[in-house]
Amino acid sequence: MPTKKPRLNLTLDPELAALLDRFAEVTGSSKASFVVSMLREAMPVMEGTIQAVEIARKNPAKSFDDFSDLLMANMVTAQQMRLELEKDRKKLSKTKNLGRGKKK
């Protein structure tokens, strides 16, 4: 049964395509599901950028301060995402070590 979800065709640089191929191969995940998950993770940053551009278009004089605030909020969001990934990496590392009988 065909999906009702919108589809998107992408043209990738060879380096990006090769990296995506390798990622899919080593993780066993599909390239499409990986790209969708990355876009989902980037949604707060994308939404913040959209807001900043909309503000800038409506009131250019006021937009510098607002744009700066939104960029800072996006940086905080990105940092939080990085910290979550690091926490997940540590959990995974501990799980692998416990499975091998090693203790940390």
What is the Cα–Cα distance from 36 to 17, expressed in whole angstroms?
15
How much is the mean pLDDT over the chain? 83
Number of domains in the chain: 1
Q: Are 78 and 72 in contact (CB under 8 A)?
A: no
The confidence score (pLDDT) of residue 104 equals 47
Domain that holds residue 69: 43-104
pLDDT top residue among 30 and 95? 30
Higher pLDDT, residue 13 or 84 = 13
Helix residue ranges, H only, the chain: 14-27, 31-58, 60-99
Q: Stretch 43-71: mean pLDDT, rounded?
A: 80
4 domain-assigned: no
pLDDT of the residue at 18: 95
> What is the model's pTM?
0.56
Residue 23 in domain: no
